[in-house]
Chain A
Amino acid sequence: MSFGIRLKVAGHYACFTRPEMKVERVSYDVMTPSAARGVLEAIHWKPAIRWVIDRIHVLEPIQFRSIRRNEVGSKASARNIKTAMTRGSLEGLHQVVDEDRQQRAATVLTDVAYVIEAHFVLTAKASADDNEGKHLDIFNRRAARGQCFHQPCLGTREFAAEFELLAPDAPVPEPREKLAELGFGQPRDLGFLLWDIDHDAPGRPSRFFRARLEDGVMRVPAPDSPEVLR
C-alpha cells in the first residue's frame, strides 16, 4: 500500500455503462474501478504491473443527460476481411452506414470529477529489473507532466478526461457540495457495481461488488476480497 498514487480526473461528460443496459447505454452513478484502471493504464502500464484501485472520491453532484446518436449495428466481419485479403481487393468490404443504422440513446453523466486512489502490484511477468520504485517514478513523472500513452477517457473515448496528479502530501479536494446523494449524513447504497472484468479467467467473466458512497468516498474491495462477487 505504500506505493499509492492519487489522481484527480475530471470531464464535461462521462459514461460508465451498466453492463445490463448496453444497447441504450445508461451510466452508473459513479466511476467504476475498471474505468479508473483504464485511466491509469492510459498514463502508464507495463505487463509487469497491475493497478489496484483502493478508493474513488466523488467531487461533483451526480447529474445525468440523455444523448441520442446514430450508430452502426454490426462489427466488421473477420471472414469477409480474410476473403478480401486473399482476393486482393477491397470490393464489397465497406460498411454502408445508412443501411445498418441504429439510433441509440445514452444516459450519460455530466460535469464529473473524481479522485482515484490506487496502488499497483508486480505480476508474474515482472523481470529482475522491474521494481515498484521504477514504475511509481515513471507514473508520477508522466502524470505530473501531463504525459500519457493515449488520452484517458471517462468511460467512452469521446468523453476525454483531464487528469492531474495530487502530490503525496496534498489533501484530497473536498466535494463541491456535501449532498446526501454522495453519502453525506448516511452512507448511500449504489447497488451492485462492476468491479472489473477478469481477463485471465476463461470467458472473461465480469465481477461485481456492493458499492457504497460514504462521505463522498467509494471504497473498492481488494481483488482477493470475498466482497468481490462473480
Chain B
Amino acid sequence: MTAIQNRYEFVYLFDVANGNPNGDPDNGNMPRLETDTQKGLITDVSLKRKVRNYVELLKGGQPPYAIYMQERSVLNNQHQKAYDALGVKSVSKKLPREEAQARELTAWMCANYFDIRAFGAVMTTEVNAGQVRGPIQMTFAQSVDPVLPQEISITRSSVTNERDADKERTMGRKYIVPYGLYRSHGFVSASLAGDATKGTGLSEEDLEIFFDALANMFDHDRSAARGEMSAQRLIVFKHAHPLGNAQAQSLFKRVSVVKRPEIKTTRSYDDYEARIDRAGLPDGVEIIERL
C-alpha cells in the first residue's frame, strides 16, 4: 500500500435527536456546552473513538486494521493467525542502533494498527521516532445553533440492593439534546503519511475506510444515551499538491449551514440548509461530496 499523495480537508455534519452525543464528566454527564455561546460541543476524541469502533467492527481487528486503543465493549477476536510477518519494513543500518530500533518498532506498529496509522500514538521509546503523529487531525465539533439540553427523570421498577427492597423503585436521570446539528472540521496531511522518516504510511484505502467510517459509524453506535445520531453531510476538499493548494480556512468558509428562515425551533436536518460555494474554487482543489 502506498501512502496518500494529496492533502485533504473535510467538513463533517452530523446530528442528534433526543440523545446525549457527548457527556461532560465535569457536569454530571450533561451534554457538553460552551457556556458563553450555549452551543453544543463534541470532543475530537469522542469522534475518533467511534471511528476506531467502526473499523474494528468492519475488519474484525485483523492486521493491518487492528485497533490499538480498544474498548472492552467491542467484541474482538484474538485470532491473529493471518498476520503477515513480511509486513515489517527493514530499516537503514546506518542509523544509530537505538534510533533504528525505535523506527523499526514504530514502522511495525504503523503497519499493523489502523488507528496508529491514522491518528498516531505515543510509544515509550526515548528517540523522537517513538512518537507518531497521524496524518488525520480532527477538531472539536460545535453545534450550528445553541442547543438546550433537557434533564429527564426516569424510574426503574427494581432496586439494586436488598436493603432498598422496600422502596420498590429507584429514580434516575438522563440528559438529552432534543435536536442538534454539529459541524466538525478535519485535516489530512499527506506529508505525515508519506514522509520517509515521519510518515505512517496511511494509504488511499485507509482513507477510504476512514471516510466510510464517518459516514456509517453512528449506525453502529446505538445506545440508550445517544438517541438518534446520524451523519448528514461529509464534504471533502482534495488538494492536487501534497502540501495543499489553498488555505484550509478559505475552504471551510465555502460550506455554509443555515437554519431555514421560516423555522423557529429546529427539530430535524430538514430545518437546515447546507450550501457549498463552488464559485472560483482555487486551482487544484476538488470538492468531493461523500455524503
Contact = CB atoms under 8 A, between A and B. Distances in A.
A133 interface: no
A188 interface: no
- What are the 10 closest A-B residue pairs judged by CB atoms, nearest first? A146-B247, A150-B189, A147-B243, A151-B187, A76-B123, A158-B44, A68-B26, A162-B249, A147-B244, A89-B80
Interface in A149-164: 149-151, 153, 157-160, 162-164
B248 A67 contact: no
Contacts of B244: 145-148
A67 B63 CA distance: 34
A11 to B, nearest CB: 9
| B contact residues, range | 35 or more
24 contacts: A65-B35, A68-B25, A68-B26, A69-B45, A76-B109, A76-B121, A76-B124, A88-B85, A89-B80, A93-B68, A94-B69, A96-B72, A99-B72, A146-B245, A146-B250, A147-B245, A149-B189, A149-B191, A151-B137, A151-B189, A151-B248, A160-B187, A162-B247, A162-B248
Contact of B123 (A75, A105, A159): A75
Nearest to B185: A160
B138 to A, nearest CB: 7
B193 to A, nearest CB: 10
Interface of B: 24-26, 32, 34-35, 41, 43-45, 63, 66-73, 76, 78, 80, 83, 85, 88, 102, 104-105, 108-109, 112, 121-125, 130, 133, 135, 137-140, 142, 185, 187, 189, 191-192, 241, 243-250
A95 interface: yes
A82 B70 contact: no
Contacts of B68: 76, 93-95
Interface residues of A, number: 47
Given A89-B83, A146-B245, 19 more contacts: A67-B41, A67-B43, A68-B25, A68-B26, A69-B45, A70-B25, A75-B122, A76-B122, A77-B123, A81-B105, A81-B108, A81-B123, A85-B88, A88-B85, A153-B137, A158-B137, A158-B140, A162-B248, A163-B247
Given A72-B69, A146-B244, A160 B139 contact: yes
A81 B109 contact: yes
B105 A82 contact: yes
